Amino acid sequence: MQNSNDLEIYSSKVLDTVSKNVIKYRKQKALTQMELALEIGMSGGAYLGRAEIRKNNHHFNLIHLAKISKVLDVDIKKFFEED
């Protein structure tokens, strides 16, 4: 059985990896945060920007990732891959 601290560290690392990969693939498609946010149905780029840098523990959920995957034409599993 895992202790809760180990699980928190692991989950935070996964969220950091996802954010880093969203940034990478967004930049490869030459989209701004605002452009991507609007494409996935957000009203502005603020949340997406906070999720990319993990400010105040903001992060992408699976619905965000599914939409981003479609817009960027990137297999969703690539967001979870470490360099």
The CATH number of the domain holding residue 36 is 1.10.260.40
- Which pLDDT value is given to residue 68? 98
Region 52-71: what's the mean pLDDT?
96
- Please report the pLDDT score of residue 1 as a whole number: 75
The SS3 of residue 68 is: helix
Domain count, the chain: 1
Confidence of residue 2 (pLDDT cuts 50, 70, 90): confident
Residue 6 pLDDT exceeds 80: yes
Rounded Cα gap, residues 56 and 67, in angstroms? 23
Going by pLDDT thresholds of 50, 70 and 90, the confidence category of residue 28 is very high
CA–CA distance, 82 with 18 (Å, rounded to integer): 9
Domain of 76 in residue numbering reads as: 4-80
Tell me 76's DSSP state: G
| pLDDT recorded at residue 32 | 97
Cα–Cα distance measured from residue 57 to residue 40, given in angstroms and rounded to the nearest whole number: 21
